Chain A
Amino acid sequence: MSKIAEGLLYSESHEWVKVDGNVAIIGVSDFAQSEMGDITYVEMPDVDDEVEAGSDFGALESVKTSSELIAPVSGKVVARNDELEDKPELINEDAYAAWIIKVEMSDESELDALLNAAAYAEIAK
């Protein structure tokens, strides 16, 4: 059974969002990492790149498969977790600690379309 952290928002494509003012901190859920298996590479956008809700902003690769990362919200990338370049396994170790990017949201109402932990638990099984 995968872990679902309370207090975060989730997308149907298994990204999580932690809201910090007008910044969205984005990662992938524990369910996503367990389905992927050992993650070997994280492709991330650069700081200052624009991401668009519903479009891919990068990708995860594992021994088993690869999967696009879908942006849950739109906005400008203000930080990325460069530690993941050398240590993609951080996502496997703790998916909720290993954030991928931080986005300055251009439309906070997009958050309304995301799921809470209870609703996401229905999908992630």
Chain B
Amino acid sequence: MKYYDKLIFELSQPGRIGFSLPEIPGQARNDFKGSTVWRESKLDLPEVSEVDVVRHYTNLSQMNFGVDTGFYPLGSCTMKYNPKINEEIANMPAFLGLHPLQPESTTKGALEIYVGMDKALAAITGMKHFTFLPCAGAHGELTGLMLMREYHMSRGDSARTKVIVPDSAHGTNPASAAVCGLDIVVVKSKENGLVDVEALKPLLGPDIAGIMMTNPNTLGLFERDIKEIAKLVHDCGGLLYYDGANMNPLLGMVRPGDMGFDIMHLNLHKTFSTPHGGGGPGAGPVGVSDKVLPFLHIPRVSGFHGNFGIILRAYAYILMLGREHVKMAGKLATLGANYIKESLKDCYKLPIPTVCKHEFVFDGLLEDNGVSTLDVAKRLLDYGFHAPTIYFPLLFHQAIMIEPTETESLETLDAFIAVMRKIAEEAKADPEMLHGAPHCTPIGRPDETTAARQPVLKYD
């Protein structure tokens, strides 16, 4: 990887330009002079030529790591390959040129995409209908919880102010519940990593709005007691919310609606192959059962409904796979994760040894020799792999969470396994070298502590 660390302002030379614009004719200039839109000082722009700009951004882009450059086993993020046909369709001028304020009579094609997507997602999840407003998973969670609250309020059931969240949940679950004004009650997991049904029972009562669950959970394990949990929660008058972050392995196999969930979100950017990372763009459509349908925003479709381009890409992906092949995605994702897990469990600590779904968690090296999960993750970068998710979930102190996704070949999985084994050997032979990793990247270990304690947020 070529090292390049310039800011575009550092390339600036007085008077250098990339593009000459005609002078503004005198009269038009005078019309604005002295008005509120007239700048008092010159705009501080870098003075660069066209080739400076092209080289600058091309060099920066070459320091990027993405799914298009290598294996990206980031647990809980489903970094699957994004087929190029999605991009081709999303870049069709008829879609690209759409404006939200265009008259509805001229946007029938886009509306048809929403309707088709609603039907496809309903078929995949067992929900009745979806809203496409939410722009990401956590946005979907908040929307879903607000629907849950509306449902209870409409029945005059105002005492339901608590939401149950398992201790293995994504951090967004309690955060969304808190933003929604609900109190959080944590239910513990058992030794086997699944929700403890006996510990759940005493928490249920007339103050419970519902439970938020991820299935498979963040340990990559299928919550097999889900039918019983659904019955218990429904019997106490609560609703079930499904966090769709881990929907990938269930595609075409099991439906949240059939498990008993009333409200859910999907992360289209994870499960349905749209580009993500670095904070967006995402799409977190929320689906509801018959029971909650009356509280969904009406009309469900209008000019400002979510990230249309992302929904369009995801729709292209679903249509490309079709009803039959959508199943293969989940199966292959599950197979790949189990293959890596079984191939490495003699070098890495596997706290929960059962069959996993699309991802699993190691708890550091078996013989760590002072080498931490952070050291292992940093060393992977030297070998050209993106690091897995580390130190999450919080249930284990040295968590390494690996999710290969279905898009990786056996050869890629084998190459990753070989490198992980090599790092385990390096830990025994030369732990000091691992403490200093990575050695082959432009930057080694950025000082995250100082960056957090004394952040510099502005270029001077």
Contact = CB atoms under 8 A, between A and B. Distances in A.
B391 A40 contact: no
A64 B452 contact: no
Contact of A65 (B394, B448, B449, B453): B394
B84 interface: no
A97 interface: no
Q: Determine the main DSSP class of B at the interface with A.
A: helix
A40 B449 CA distance: 7
B397 interface: yes
B397 A40 contact: no
Interface string A70-90: 000000000000000000110
B448 A63 contact: yes
A88 B452 CA distance: 11
A38 B449 contact: yes
Interface string A14-43: 000000000000000000000100101100
A52 to B, nearest CB: 14
Interface in B82-112: none
Contacts of A41: 452-453
Contact of A63 (B394, B397, B452): B452
Nearest to B374: A64
A40 B394 contact: no
Contacts of A40: 449, 452-453
A118 to B, nearest CB: 24
Interface in B424-449: 448-449
A65 B453 CA distance: 14
Contacts of B453: 40-41, 88-89
Nearest to B452: A40
Interface in B370-420: 391, 394, 397
A55 to B, nearest CB: 12
Interface string A43-68: 00000000000000000010111000
Nearest to A66: B171
A40 B448 CA distance: 9
A64 B397 contact: no
A33 to B, nearest CB: 13
Contacts of B394: 65
B391 A65 contact: yes
A9 B168 CA distance: 30
Interface string B20-58: 000000000000000000000000000000000000000
B124 to A, nearest CB: 34
A41 B449 CA distance: 10
A89 B449 CA distance: 10
Interface string B294-327: 0000000000000000000000000000000000
Contacts of A38: 448-449
The residue among B391, B394, B453 with the most chain A CB atoms within 10 A of its own CB is B453
A73 B159 CA distance: 29
A64 B374 CA distance: 10
A78 to B, nearest CB: 28
Nearest to A35: B397
A74 to B, nearest CB: 19
A97 B266 CA distance: 48
A63 B445 CA distance: 13
A40 B447 CA distance: 12
Nearest to A86: B453
18 contacts: A35-B397, A38-B448, A38-B449, A40-B449, A40-B452, A40-B453, A41-B452, A41-B453, A61-B452, A63-B448, A63-B449, A63-B452, A64-B391, A65-B391, A65-B394, A88-B453, A89-B449, A89-B453
Given A35-B397, A63-B448, A64-B391, 13 more contacts: A38-B448, A38-B449, A40-B449, A40-B452, A40-B453, A41-B452, A41-B453, A61-B452, A63-B449, A63-B452, A65-B394, A89-B449, A89-B453
Interface of A: 35, 38, 40-41, 61, 63-65, 88-89
The 7 nearest A-B residue pairs measured at CB: A40-B452, A38-B449, A63-B448, A40-B453, A64-B391, A63-B449, A63-B452
